Amino acid sequence: MTPRIYIAYTGGTFGMKPTPSGFVPDRGLAQALQARLPAPGQDGMPHWELHEYAQLIDSAEAQPRDWHTIATDIAARYDAYDGFVVIHGTDTMAYTASALSFALVGLRKPVIVTGAQIPLAMPRSDAPGNLAGALLIAGQHPLPEVGLYFGGQLLRGNRATKVSAADFDAFASPNHPPLGRVGIDVEIDRRRVLPMPAQEAFQVVAPQTREVAMLRLYPGLTVALLERVLAPGVAGLVLQSYGAGNGPVGLPGFVDTLAAASARGVVIVNVSQCARGRVDPALYATGSALAAAGVVGGLDMTVEAALTKLHHLLSLGLGAEEARHRLQQPCCGELTSP
């Protein structure tokens, strides 16, 4: 029986058209694809049905409510299809793939996020190849994961990050090997794939309204700016630190400001500015000082995974201590345990 795949078309470069002010999302993608893809059931292609969202967006406009919309859409149609493909813009694709992995925890069917660097209607577009690869993976391989397929590579969605605005291989997975590659054959590395869970345990919850901030440390950062970032009303902070989790702890007021925010319930997670490696608070005294101030080490999570996981945990209504604990526990392959 030919697998049935649901395609959620959310917008992005994939289906854009040129205008005097630049590329914008366009409608009618299902008809355009019929002339570009093999017929359903031929050449291993599954049957696919495309749903075009009412509000197509450039992914630079994406918000947590959009992650929730996509997750809710997939959850509602979960029993009717064998797999899912999400067409999405590249700018925030890694954020959405990460967010979906947390919302759809316990997933037993593949959800593959893909897109394009060049629109489908343009010469040399990478859109047909990316979508065909995503459909073949979703239709032929029962992966219990949210994956990101782009430029011939299948990456774990919550391990992916965008590394190029100019190349067809626009995404990388610095701290986890690819799950598979598509060339002449579709090759899945089963050793890298998450084990099949006993049952789904989706946690599709409406996004919380409190703000989650992000701050990248840099020489010259002032405590006054840190205080503004951590102003009342902020529920969480992703702190992008140096190297293995270090910061300017000798700066008067820096550690005290972080400690005061932690004490009033702000959840602060520390991730490295480096693409490869992990936060190890015990390695340097500067990292230990951050940990003593209540800052949670994010281990080897990407910035995208840390931000979306923090959003998700707060949306579940967890208290600060429970959220801090869960940030360091693997949920769906987003981090490597110590």
User: Does 194 reside within a domain?
Assistant: no
- The answer on 232 and 177 residing in a single domain is no
pLDDT band per the 50, 70, 90 thresholds, residue 42: confident
pLDDT mean over 99-113: 97
User: Does 239 reside within a domain?
Assistant: yes
User: Does 333 reside within a domain?
Assistant: no
- The answer on 181 and 215 residing in a single domain is no
- The answer on 129 and 246 residing in a single domain is no
Which CATH number does the domain housing residue 33 bear?
A: 3.40.50.1170
Instruction: Tell me which of 188, 219, 247 is where a domain ends.
Output: 188
User: Does 335 reside within a domain?
Assistant: no
The 3-class SS string of the chain reads CCCEEEEEEEECHHHEECCCCCCEECCCHHHHHHCCCCCCCCCCCCEEEEEEEEEEECHHHCCHHHHHHHHHHHHHHHHHCCEEEEECCCCCHHHHHHHHHHHCCCCCCCEEEECCCCCCCCCCCCHHHHHHHHHHHHHHCCCCCEEEEECCEEEEHHHCEECCCCCCCCEECCCCCCCEEECCCEEECCCCCCCCCCCCCCCCCCCCCCEEEEEECCCCCCHHHHHHHCCCCEEEEEEEEECCCECCCCCCCHHHHHHHHHHCCCEEEEEECCCCCCCCCCCCHHHHHHHHCCCEECCCCCHHHHHHHHHHHHHCCCCHHHHHHHHCCCCCCCCCCC
pLDDT in tens, 83-96: 999 999 999 999 99
User: Does 13 reside within a domain?
Assistant: yes
pLDDT in tens, 179-205: 999 999 999 999 999 999 998 999 999
Instruction: Tell me which of 131, 153, 188 is where a domain ends.
Output: 188
User: Does 176 reside within a domain?
Assistant: yes
Report the domain count for the chain: 2
- The answer on 61 and 179 residing in a single domain is yes
pLDDT band per the 50, 70, 90 thresholds, residue 36: confident
- The answer on 237 and 301 residing in a single domain is yes
- The answer on 151 and 63 residing in a single domain is yes
Give the catalytic positions in this structure.
13
pLDDT in tens, 253-305: 999 999 999 999 999 999 999 999 999 876 666 668 999 999 999 999 999 99
Which CATH number does the domain housing residue 315 bear?
A: 3.40.50.40
Q: Which domain holds residue 286?
A: 211-327
Q: How far apart are CA 29 and CA 52, in angstroms?
A: 8
pLDDT in tens, 126-174: 999 999 999 999 999 999 999 999 999 999 999 999 999 999 999 999 9
**Residue-averaged pLDDT of the chain:** 94
- Predicted TM-score (pTM) of this structure: 0.96
Single out the residue of 202, 249, 211 nearest to residue 230, CA to CA.
211
C-beta separation of 235 from 323 below 8 A: no
